[in-house]
């Protein structure tokens, strides 16, 4: 990828010291992780994911919801970080004050080399008790269960059902994560938004915070989004192609090292 837009985005990145990288589902889709609305395959075709992603659905049928999310978790475990994830890690390695904020619930940023991403929507790999909120980690080597309904494990503290560690419809974002995201956006000198539709609120407010306070916003997305109007540069294309090109544009002397 070349062109004046890429050159300008590279200049902005090279000049930054406190960038924020804000990522959405498009980042992980290139690793084969289906976006939420696409995650309707096999036994789950007759279910609307939005109807499974609520506290009420879990109360009504814990085995149905837990089984669906266990399928998602094991699918993510089979996926691999893509070139976009590795480029984010390269930015963070070059600029140690980089803050990665993600709406994704997978672990691909960490496996791609990024440190301590701020997780606005929780994680598939951090289940917790539905009653007392006690963490209930699952072993990494747990075998993949048969597809279908699956009873959730019991909490070790209170014996209530364990739930997926993600934010469901109707739930507030984790206070600490949202506060950290807003703080990072408030003090950044560049916000790079990647693979997000900018339609899911309040997460979609994060780039707007940076823009309102004068930080340039660079968007990487194959299609137009509501953020187009506030961006200094819009780079059209998938993250796995655009982000490595952006890193090369920012630090051409590093190419080939």
Q: Is 26 annotated as a binding residue?
A: no
- 257 marked as binding residue: no
Question: Is residue 105 a known part of a binding site?
Answer: yes
223 annotated as a binding-site residue: yes
Is 123 assigned a ligand-binding role in the annotation? no
Residue 2 backbone class (left: φ over 0; alpha: ψ -120 to 50; beta: rest): beta
Tokens of 227: 């953020």
**Coarse DSSP helix, strand, coil percentages of the chain, rounded to the nearest 5 percent:** 40, 10, 45
Q: Which of 109, 121, 134, 201 is catalytic?
A: 121
Distance CA 77, CA 89 (A): 19
Binding residue per annotation — 104? Answer: yes
72 is in an annotated binding site: yes
Given a contact cutoff of 8 angstroms between Cβ atoms, the answer to whether 103 and 95 are in contact is no
Annotated binding residue at 222? yes
Polymer length in residues for the chain = 257
Alpha-carbon distances, residue 211 vs 73, 79, 186 (angstroms): 34, 33, 9
Find out whether 47 is annotated in a ligand binding site.
no
Residue matched to tokens 């059209």: 236
231 assigned to a ligand binding site:
no
Say whether 121 is catalytic.
Answer: yes
Residue that is written with structure tokens 């960038």 in the block: 19
Catalytic residue ranges: 121
Which residues carry a binding-site annotation for substrate?
69, 72
Which residues carry a binding-site annotation?
69, 72, 103-106, 129, 132, 155, 158, 195-197, 221-223, 239
Which residues carry a binding-site annotation for Zn(2+)?
129, 132, 155, 158
Which residues carry a binding-site annotation for NAD(+)?
103-106, 195-197, 221-223, 239
């Amino acid at each position: 990828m070349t062109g004046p837009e890429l050159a300008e985005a590279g200049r902005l990145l090279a000049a930054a010291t406190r960038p924020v990288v804000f990522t959405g589902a498009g980042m992980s889709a290139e690793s084969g992780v289906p976006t939420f609305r696409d995650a309707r395959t096999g036994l789950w075709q007759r279910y609307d994911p939005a109807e499974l992603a609520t506290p009420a659905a879990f109360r009504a049928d814990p085995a149905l919801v837990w089984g669906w999310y266990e399928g998602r978790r094991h699918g993510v475990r089979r996926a691999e970080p893509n070139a976009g994830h590795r480029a984010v890690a390269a930015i963070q390695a070059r600029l140690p004050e980089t803050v990665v904020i993600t709406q994704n619930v997978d672990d691909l940023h960490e496996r791609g080399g990024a440190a301590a991403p701020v997780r606005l929507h929780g994680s598939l790999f951090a289940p917790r008790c539905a009653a007392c909120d006690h963490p209930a980690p699952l072993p990494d080597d747990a075998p993949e269960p048969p597809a279908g309904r699956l009873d959730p494990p019991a909490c070790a503290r209170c014996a209530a059902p364990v739930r997926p560690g993600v934010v469901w419809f109707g739930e507030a974002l984790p206070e600490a994560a949202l506060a950290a995201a807003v703080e990072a956006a408030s003090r950044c000198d560049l916000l790079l938004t990647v693979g997000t539709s900018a339609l899911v609120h309040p997460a979609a407010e994060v780039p707007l915070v940076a823009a309102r306070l004068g930080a340039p916003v660079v968007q990487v997305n194959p299609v137009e989004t509501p953020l187009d109007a506030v961006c200094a540069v819009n780079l059209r294309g998938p993250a796995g192609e655009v982000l490595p090109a952006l890193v090369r544009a920012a630090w051409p002397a590093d190419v080939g090292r």
